[in-house]
Amino acid sequence: MKYLFASLFFLLTSLSSSAQGNSSISGRVVGVDHSAIFSATIMLYRAADTSLLRANFSELNGAFSFDELEADTYLLKSTHLGFEPFWSQAIKLGEEQTLTIQSAILVELAEVLD
């Protein structure tokens, strides 16, 4: 019985590791003045059905990355408090491709004071 569980464990582990791709997407989140935006939320969606796949935060220099992706078409959404959300165009990613996108530029929300 324990051999069955061990065999099943190794089978499932090998299947899950083969399902991960070797492609990646990286970029930077900046403001309109091109200054880095730290701790912006970046979400990765599958373009076909807009299902959320992963989420990440930008680093001090605004950089972010998503690794071990399968070849597919993706959308990126960047958000941060006080800024309008940014949606990317569709990003087509091939097998074992490393893609660096142009900066995601967030625009500050206008606030009306009385």
Residue 101 lies in a domain: yes
The closest of 88, 85, 62 to 74, measured between CA atoms, is: 88
Q: Give the pLDDT score at 111.
A: 73
Dihedral angle at the C-alpha atoms of 100, 96, 16, 73, nearest 10 degrees? 60
CATH number at residue 83: 2.60.40.10
For 11-15, 19-23, 92-96, which range has the lowest pLDDT when averaged over its residues? 11-15
Q: Give the pLDDT score at 14.
A: 44
Q: Give the pLDDT score at 16.
A: 42
Residue 74 lies in a domain: yes
For the chain, the domain total comes to 1
Backbone angles phi, psi at 9, to 5 degrees: -60, -50
Label residue 21 by pLDDT band (50, 70, 90).
confident
- Its domain, for residue 82, covers 21-106
Residue 54 lies in a domain: yes
